[in-house]
Chains A and B, each alone.
Chain A
Amino acid sequence: MQKLTRLLLGAAVVALAAPVWAEDSSDPIIIPTHNWSSQIVMSNVVGQMFESMGNSVEYVSTDSQAVYEAVRLGDATLEVEVWEGAFGASFMAAVEKGGIHDVATHDAVTREDWWYPMWTKEACPGLPDWKALNDCAALFVTPETGDKGRFLGGPVDWLKHDQEKVEALGMNFVVVNAGSAAALWAEIAAAEKDKTPIVLFNWTPNFAEAVWPGEFVNFPEWVEGCDKDPAVGPIPDKVYDCGNPANGYMKIAAWDGMKDKWPGAYAALQKVNFTNAQIAEMAKMVDIDGMEPEEAATAWLEANEAVWKLWTE
Chain B
Amino acid sequence: MMTATLPQPPFRLDQKRVAQAILLAALVLVLSRNVLPAYLLRLPESLVLPFADWINAVFDFARDDLGLMAFTRAFSDVVEFCLDVTANLLYGKSRWPQLGPIPWVVIAATAGMAGYALGGLRLAVLAGGTFVWIAVMGQWKWAMETLSVIVVAVPFAVVFGLLMGILAWRYRLAERILNPVLNIAQSLPHFAYMIPVVVFIGVGPKAGAIVTIIFSVPPMIRMSLLGLRAVSPEIIESGKMSGTTRWQLMTRVRLPAARTEILIGVNQVIMQSLAMVVLASFIGMPGLGQKLLQLLQALRIGLSVEIGITIVLLAIVLDRMSKAWAMKQPEHVEGATWVQRHRLLAIWLGLVALGFVMAWLHPYFAEVERKQALSMADPIDFVVGGFIDLIDPVTDWLRWFLITWVLIPLRDAFLWLPTSAVLLALAGIGWRIGGWRSALVCLAFALPIALSGWWDRAMITAYTVFVSVALALLIGVPLGLIGAANETRARRFLLVCDTAQTFPSFIYLIPVVMLFGVNDVAVVAAVMVFATVPIVRYTIEGLRNIPPEIVESAQMSGASRGQLLRHVKVPLAIPTLVVGANQSIMFALFMVIIAAFIGTQDLGQEMQRALSSTDVGKGLVLGFAVAFMGLLADHLLLKWARGKGATLGSR
Contacts and interface: CB of A to CB of B under 8 A. Distances in A.
Interface of A: 1-2, 7, 30, 32, 35-37, 40, 56, 58, 60-63, 65-67, 69-70, 73, 75-76, 142-144, 152, 155-157, 176-183, 185-187, 189-190, 193-194, 207, 286-287, 290, 292, 295
B399 A182 contact: no
Contacts of B360: 1
B519 A179 contact: no
Contacts of A177: 518, 599, 601, 605
Contacts of A292: 370
Given A143-B404, A183-B599, A178 B612 contact: no
B283 interface: yes
A58 B204 CA distance: 11
Contact of A207 (B203, B298, B363, B400): B298
Contacts of B297: 35-37, 180-182, 185
Contacts of B299: 182, 185-186, 189
Contacts of A37: 294, 297-298
The A interface is mostly helix, strand or loop, or mixed, namely mixed
B598 interface: yes
Interface of B: 93-94, 98, 198, 202-205, 281-286, 290, 293-294, 296-300, 360, 363, 370, 388-389, 392, 399-400, 403-404, 408, 509-511, 513-515, 517-520, 595-601, 605, 608-609, 611-614
Given A65-B612, A187-B517, A182 B202 contact: no
Please provide the 4 A-B residue pairs with the shortest distance between their CB atoms, ordered closest to farther: A186-B513, A143-B403, A179-B599, A65-B612
Nearest to B293: A35
B284 A62 contact: yes
A190 B605 contact: no
Nearest to A184: B518
Contact of A157 (B281, B293, B404, B608): B608
B519 A187 contact: no
A198 to B, nearest CB: 9
B203 A63 contact: yes
Given A63-B203, A179-B518, A190-B513, 12 more contacts: A63-B282, A66-B283, A156-B609, A157-B613, A176-B599, A182-B297, A182-B510, A183-B513, A183-B597, A187-B513, A193-B388, A290-B300
B204 A286 contact: no
How would you classify the secondary structure of chain B's contact residues: helix, strand, loop or mixed? Answer: helix
Contacts of B370: 292, 295
A201 B39 CA distance: 39
A186 B514 contact: yes
A302 to B, nearest CB: 16
B400 A65 contact: no
Contact of B518 (A2, A35, A178, A290): A178
Nearest to A143: B403
B518 A63 contact: no
A167 to B, nearest CB: 18
A178 B598 contact: yes
Contacts of A76: 203
B200 to A, nearest CB: 12
A181 B296 CA distance: 9
Contacts of B599: 155, 176-180, 183
A142 B614 CA distance: 34
A1 B511 CA distance: 47
A176 B297 CA distance: 19
Contact of B605 (A63, A142, A179, A286): A179
A70 B202 contact: yes
Nearest to B203: A62
A144 B611 CA distance: 28
Contacts of A60: 203-205, 284, 286
A26 to B, nearest CB: 11
A144 B609 contact: no
A295 B202 CA distance: 28
Contact of A156 (B198, B510, B605): B605
A311 to B, nearest CB: 24
Contact of A63 (B205, B283, B392): B283
Contacts of A194: 392
Contact of A152 (B296, B518, B600, B605): B518
Contacts of B608: 155-157, 179
A157 B360 CA distance: 50
Contacts of B518: 152, 176-179, 183, 187
Given A179-B605, A183-B599, A63 B404 contact: no
Nearest to B201: A75
Contacts of A207: 298
A83 to B, nearest CB: 14
B597 A182 contact: yes
A182 B297 CA distance: 5
B494 to A, nearest CB: 31
Nearest to B303: A290
Most chain B CB inside 10 Å of its own CB: which residue of A70, A144, A194: A144
B56 to A, nearest CB: 15
Most B Cβ at <10 Å: residue of A1, A7, A35: A35
Contact of B403 (A61, A144, A287): A144
Contact of B204 (A69, A75, A155, A178): A75
A287 B297 CA distance: 9
A61 B284 CA distance: 5
Most buried by B among A30, A32, A292: A292
B389 A66 contact: no
A130 to B, nearest CB: 22
B203 A66 contact: yes
Contacts of B283: 62-63, 66
A7 B100 CA distance: 12
Contact of A62 (B204, B298, B300, B404): B204
A157 B638 CA distance: 38
A180 to B, nearest CB: 4
A304 to B, nearest CB: 21
B296 A144 contact: no
Contacts of B519: 142-144, 176
Contacts of A40: 294
Nearest to A2: B363
Contact of B388 (A155, A178, A185, A190): A190
26 contacts: A30-B204, A37-B297, A40-B294, A63-B282, A63-B283, A75-B202, A142-B517, A143-B519, A157-B612, A176-B518, A177-B601, A178-B599, A180-B297, A180-B598, A180-B599, A182-B299, A182-B510, A182-B597, A183-B509, A183-B510, A186-B299, A186-B513, A189-B514, A190-B388, A193-B389, A290-B300
Contacts of A67: 203
Nearest to A190: B514
